[in-house]
Amino acid sequence: MNEKLHEIKKMLQEDGYKLTPQREATVRILLEKDKEHLSAEDIYMLVKDKAPDIGLATVYRTLELLSELRIVHKLNFGDGVARYEITSDDEGHHHHHIVCLECGKLEEFEDDLLEEIEKRIESTKNFQIVDHRLSFFGYCKDCKDKPKSERPKMKIE
């Protein structure tokens, strides 16, 4: 974790920013919870334990800055809540997500099956792809067998 934190500090400095104690506390939470998809409010509640003087607005500003600098990915799964995760070390590509429309469970999958499509787009459209995002929406193993009448009509934005 310290190596990744040092890397992030360097990235901030290259763009003229400092790794303030508030930013460091936020980044540490994201690194510690790297398999979770935390909202700004989730992060705030966890950061508050480490830095009691931090405010929710500071966490939001920090997340927006980190997102602009591509240190974190800001994710939207159609439920109106932005979630955040540290950008992976893989240049340009990262994992994808499956989202349960009933319980909201979120899972990651690593298979990147889009390489051929990317190559085709790049060659036919003369477009350099640097990243992509893919999410699948449906029902998890716990929710898929419930009768359709019991399933909420979750709207995907």
Is 102 annotated to bind ligand?
A: no
Is 93 annotated to bind ligand?
A: no
15 Cβ contact list (under 8 Å, min separation 6): 69
| Continuous segment of H or E residues that includes residue 12 | helix 2-14
97 Cβ contact list (under 8 Å, min separation 6): 37, 75, 77, 106, 107, 108, 109, 134, 135, 136
Is 95 annotated to bind ligand?
A: no
DSSP 39: E
Is 85 annotated to bind ligand?
A: no
Is 68 annotated to bind ligand?
A: no
Is 116 annotated to bind ligand?
A: no
User: Do the Cβ atoms of 43 and 30 come closer than 8 Å?
Assistant: yes
Is 3 annotated to bind ligand?
A: no
Annotated binding site for Zn(2+): 100, 103, 140, 143
Residues at the binding site are 94, 100, 103, 115, 132, 140, 143
Binding site for Fe cation, by residue number, is 94, 115, 132
